[in-house]
Amino acid sequence: MPASRRLPPLRALEAFVRIVRLGSAKAAANELGLSPSALSRRVGALEDFVGKRLFTRQHQAMKLTEDGQTFYNAVSPKLEALAEAVESQMETSNVMRLHLGVPALYAGERLFPHLPELRKLHPRLHIDIDTGPQLETRLGDSLDAAIVLSKGPDALLHAVRLDHNQVHAFASPKLAAEIGLHPDPAKLAKQTFLISGALPESYDAWKTALGMEDLEPAAIDHYDSAQLILEAAAQGLGIAILNDDHPERTGDDRVVRLFDVTVESPYSYWFVCRPRELESRPVRLFHDWLIKTML
């Protein structure tokens, strides 16, 4: 039988990986219940083992060296493989559950079509979907992670940008015919605009792109759901301002896009969670799969 290879001190390896994933030595120490000096000793033990400096230390900050980044890139996939190997030997009834917040339209049109692939990869991972309001503020409480439409998440959160959105205006075919193919300030001033109360800058960006910053429509109706905005537009209740091409993506012919203009949205879809949640197996599996699939 061949001699066993020496393994690195696993507690030191755990400390190293948590610092990298959480982006902060302080956060890693808090997660592990260690003092900063104890955490530093564990990292030092790992550096002695591999014979390389993995971090530079400046005051309270620890920054990966080039060798440290190379080491993490080599080790992290192996740790995931080890976790999956252990997972495969566990009882199949031992379900992993993720509480995920996500806007309803994103869930239905972008996320759900890919979920069968995730289920094949990780059959024990089950997801509770929450489409309620204020997703970002409920992280760490009723939600493990969320996909949000935002100008930029809280700086204290781990965040990954999933796309760069555009603003589109949609209306029923009948109303679109009345408005015409080209922007007419007089006609638009007579209309009702349907906008998201949580995303007001989308409407401002759209007006600016059309050169109509001073446009004052007949009314602005606010909604807390993109689905309801779309449904109201389909019923001829006004012009919907949306941060995505949902109708064109799904082939909804009850509405048509107004004008041939490109408007960059102030808002994008982001995956967000509290940094410590990345150490949770369900969150980590979903996070890694989402980034690989959506980016």
* pLDDT at 2 (0 to 100): 52
CATH topology of domain 168-265: D-Maltodextrin-Binding Protein; domain 2 (3.40.190)
What pLDDT does residue 58 have?
A: 73
- pTM exceeds 0.75 for this model: no
Give the Cα separation of 202 and 229 in Å (integer).
13
DSSP helix, strand, coil percent of the chain (3-state; round to 5): 45, 20, 35
Element of type H or E holding 223: strand 219-223
Domain limits, the chain: 10-88, 96-163+269-294, 168-265
Sequence-distant (≥ 6) Cβ neighbours of residue 205 within 8 angstroms:
167, 263, 264, 265, 266
Res 92: pLDDT: 52
Q: What are the tokens at 290?
A: 């989402």
Residue whose tokens read 């507690």: 11
For domain 10-88, give its CATH number from 1.10.10.10, 3.90.1300.10, 3.40.50.1400, 3.40.50.300. 1.10.10.10
Listed as ranges, residues in the chain with pLDDT below 50 are 1
User: Residue 25 has which token pair?
Assistant: 């030595």
10-88 and 168-265 have identical folds: no
Residues near 169 by Cβ (< 8 Å), separated by ≥ 6?
206, 239, 240, 241, 242, 257, 258, 259
- Taking each helix axis as running N to C, give the angle between helix 10-22 and helix 36-50, from 0 to 180 degrees, rounded to the nearest 10: 110
In whole angstroms, what is the distance from residue 40 CA to residue 31 CA? 14
User: Hey, which bits of 151-189 come out as E strands?
Assistant: 158-161, 168-171
**How many CA atoms, within 13 angstroms, populate the side-chain half-sphere of residue 132?**
12
Can you give the pLDDT at residue 178? Answer: 95
- CATH H superfamily, domain 96-163+269-294: Periplasmic binding protein-like II (3.40.190.10)
Q: What digits encode the pLDDT tens for the residues 122-153?
A: 998 999 999 988 899 899 888 999 999 999 89
